[in-house]
């Protein structure tokens, strides 16, 4: 059996998809079932984007704290 590799979407790709879903939901007259499917996908993408942003914020905070520690130790 061959193993399928699933390409993980980038933040930008997820955000673009989410924007597209929002536009469709706002502008198109679509059947309820499709609307619910799009809404569910949009919520999932929103959670993914939020997680990526939270992780990035944590990384930036760690880097900032490390830089502050380095700067403080050079003045001691």
What angle do the packed helices 32-74 and 11-27 form, to 10 degrees?
Answer: 140
Question: pLDDT tens digits, residue range 27-66?
Answer: 878 999 999 999 999 999 999 999 999 999 999 999 999 8
In a 3-state reduction of DSSP, which class is residue 3? coil
- Quick one: pLDDT at residue 71? 74
Residue 70 banded pLDDT, cuts 50, 70, 90: confident
Residue 73 banded pLDDT, cuts 50, 70, 90: low
Best CATH choice for the domain 11-74 from the list 1.10.287, 1.10.12, 2.40.160, 1.20.80: 1.10.287
Query: Who contacts 24 (Cβ-Cβ below 8 Å, separation ≥6)?
Result: 30, 38
């Amino acid at each position: 059996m061959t193993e399928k590799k699933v390409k993980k979407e980038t933040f930008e790709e997820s955000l673009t998809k989410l924007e597209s879903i929002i536009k469709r939901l706002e502008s198109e007259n679509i059947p309820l079932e499709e609307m619910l499917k799009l809404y569910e996908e949009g919520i999932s993408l929103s959670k993914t984007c939020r997680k990526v942003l939270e992780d990035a914020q944590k990384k930036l905070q760690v880097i900032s704290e490390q830089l502050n520690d380095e700067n403080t130790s050079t003045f001691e």
